[in-house]
Each structure stands twice: as structure tokens, then as C-alpha cells.
Amino acid sequence: MQKVKPTVLILCTGNSCRSHLAEGILRAAAGDFLNVQSAGSKPAGYVHPLGIQVMKEIGIDISGHHSKSMNEFLQQPVETVVTVCGNADQACPVYPGQLSRHHWGFDDPAHAVGTDEEKLAVFRRVRDEIKRVFEAYADGRRDQGKAKAD
């Protein structure tokens, strides 16, 4: 019998940028032992093209992602909720089976202004900040799983 992977739901307001960056990074780092999803409290209906571009630069394809409502997950067990913006943290419901919740806020690169290159620089900075946090989280969860197995 295959063990069900615990679901980690990453929430943001629009589910167009930060939550997709985090979903792609965490799925790449921990997809073998976590079911990683993202959603928004007020979904924008699209994934930001610059987010797709900066993820492609690090070898992660999120072009197939789509913007979803956090309400889509209310009827399924969600072990961990991670909010990546303050608005989602305030709007976040409690999910069935939820054991933990984290709030790790990041700047919204979708609000970046300036030239295309200046906007890309903001997207890359936020991507790299998210990458550091979520890869460390994946490492911690992996270590936790190994400790339980011993």
C-alpha cells in the first residue's frame, strides 16, 4: 500500500506569483515526500509571466500551473498551510487535518516598477529568497522523516 504524501498548501492573495514560485521550488525539493499545492484567497486567474520566466532560469517549469481558490482545498486533508503574504495569513481558514501553519512573508514582485530588467531583478530576488526558505523547510522535513524512520 502506497503511503499518502502529506499536503502542504501555500497561500497568497492572488495565487499569481509568490505562491507559485514557492510551490514550484518546494515541489522540486520535496515532491518525493510532500504533495505541494498553492492557492489564493482572491485568485487572480493567471500565473505571472515573469514568475514563469525566472523559474525557468533555475530549471523549474511552472508554465502549467493555474490560479486556484483556497476554497478548493476545504474538503481535503491539508497537513501544513504556509502563507507567503499578510493578506492570505489573515484570510486563511483552518483545513481538515491541519497540523501546522507557518507565515513566511515575501515582497510581491508583481508590484515591481521600472524597466523590464528592473522588474526581472525584483522577481529574481524574491525567487531566491523563497528558494532559500522553502529548500531549508524541505531539508528539515526530510530530516524529520528520517528521524521518525530510525
Among candidate residues 8, 9, 11, 12, the one labeled active-site is 12
Phi/psi-derived region of residue 143, left when phi > 0, alpha when psi is between -120 and 50, beta in every other case: alpha
How many helices, marked H, and strands, marked E, lie in the chain? 4, 4
Among candidate residues 92, 122, 130, 138, the one labeled active-site is 92
Closest among 137, 132, 107, 135 to 121, alpha carbons compared? 107
The reply to whether 12 belongs to the active site is yes
Question: Can you point out the beta strands (E) in 41-133?
Answer: 80-83, 100-103
The reply to whether 85 belongs to the active site is yes
Among candidate residues 10, 22, 85, 138, the one labeled active-site is 85
The reply to whether 17 belongs to the active site is no
Catalytically annotated residues: 12, 85, 92
